[in-house]
Amino acid sequence: MIKFYGYKKCGTSKKGEKALQNAGVDYTFIDITEKPPAKAALKKMIQQSGEPATKFFNTSGVEYKSQNLKDKLKDMSEKDMIELLASNGKLIKRPLVTDGAASTVGFKEEVFLKTWK
């Protein structure tokens, strides 16, 4: 079962959902602001995505900017980044999609459809 972590008011989440729907892919929507993934799940998704933990941050978000994370992330360990992401779903780039074996973060249509179609 595909888990789609998104936010209903987020344009990028809407694009991701629409792409899955158009491809006929079944998924479960989880509001990332209410139920962010746990630390262990985030660690696994980061490994599966092949992306560094820094790519999982919503760099255009208010929370990211208000905490001045652009400068702080440079000195943070991956473990600390994962703890921070798990503590506040608004810090996580959307959509975050996983089926337990593969994971994608953000919406790049080509990668998204290749992975989830």
What is the overall mean pLDDT for the chain? 96
Mean pLDDT in residue range 101-112? 94
pLDDT at 117: 85
pLDDT at 113: 87
Q: Domain extents for the chain?
A: 2-116
Task: Give the tens place of pLDDT for each residue, 30-55.
Answer: 999 999 999 999 999 999 999 999 99
CATH classification (class only), 2-116: alpha beta
- DSSP state letters, the chain: -EEEEE-TT-HHHHHHHHHHHHTT--EEEEETTTSPPPHHHHHHHHHHHTS-GGGGB-TTSHHHHHTTHHHHGGG--HHHHHHHHHH-GGGB-S-EEE-SS-EEES--HHHHHHHH-
- Give the integer Cα–Cα distance in Å for 98 and 58: 17
pLDDT at 78: 97
- The closest alpha carbon to 73, from 65, 108, 10, 51, belongs to 65
Task: Give the tens place of pLDDT for each residue, 49-77.
Answer: 999 999 999 999 999 999 999 999 999 99
pLDDT at 33: 95
Q: Give exposure, 46-71, as e/b (b: 16+ Cβ within 10 Å).
A: beebebebeebbbeebebbeeeebee
Examine the pLDDT at 104 and tell me if it is beyond 90.
Answer: yes
51 Cβ contact list (under 8 Å, min separation 6): 105
**pTM for this structure?**
0.94
